Amino acid sequence: MAKLCKAGQQLREQIDDDYPDRDRKSDGWIADARHMAKGTSDHIPQDGIVRALDIDADLNAHKEEAYALVEKIRKCAKRGDKRIKYIIYDGKIMSPIMNWKRRKYRGANPHRSHFHISFTTLGDKDGSWFDLEGDRNERIETDGGKLGENIPRDGSSDIPSGGLGSRRNCKCGSSISLA
């Protein structure tokens, strides 16, 4: 039986705690059979672990709240939480490429009903607290420009190298190129 990685479980728990009345209709984690057959996706279990999470953008709060939450996750990743691999929301992708700068997302599904978070293998067993408010590592942020450079791109890392052939599908039917 496949499991959502520990980091994904923890992040979802924190979001549930913050938004107990949120709409979960567009939530998801494990790929359905059709997408399983299709090939590569972080939603497809690898060694029994799923490393992707979809969160419904309707947090039952102010409409802008989803943007604010995504921004918190992005900043957490930028400050150096390497469990987060990339985030997609509302036509934008955020990843270590260009140091977590929002870039145009060219996949078929622009991800407006939900946002997608992919996790690295570091999150498989590490379910520690996500510092979304940023009060713990504020000092590091001034040095944020250097954080992205520390990520190895030699193939031993699970961070996408960004090659043209680097395409991943997610449950939502999207197919993304990390180039």
Q: How far is CA 157 from CA 2, 103, 122, 138, in A?
A: 22, 22, 10, 26
Q: How far is CA 177 from CA 82, 109, 113, in A?
A: 20, 12, 20
Residue 134: CB minimum distance to Zn ion, A: 25
Residue 77: CB minimum distance to Zn ion, A: 16
Q: For Zn ion, which stretch binds (CB under 5 A), given 1-9, 49-57, 62-70, 123-131? A: 49-57
CA distance 12 to 53: 8
Residue 93 sits in the site that holds Zn ion (CB under 5 A): no
Which residue in the set 49, 50, 69, 170 belongs to the binding site for Zn ion (CB under 5 A)?
A: 170
Q: Which of residues 105-144 bind Zn ion (CB under 5 A)?
A: 116
8 A C-beta contact, residue 113 and residue 54? no
Which residue in the set 6, 7, 54, 123 belongs to the binding site for Zn ion (CB under 5 A)?
A: 54
- Residues in binding contact with Zn ion, number by CB under 5 A: 5
Quote the radius of gyration of the chain (alpha carbons, Å).
15
β-bridge partners, 139:
none
Nearer to Zn ion by Cβ, of 117 and 122: the residue is 117
Residues lying near Zn ion in the complex (CB under 5 A)? 54, 116, 170-172
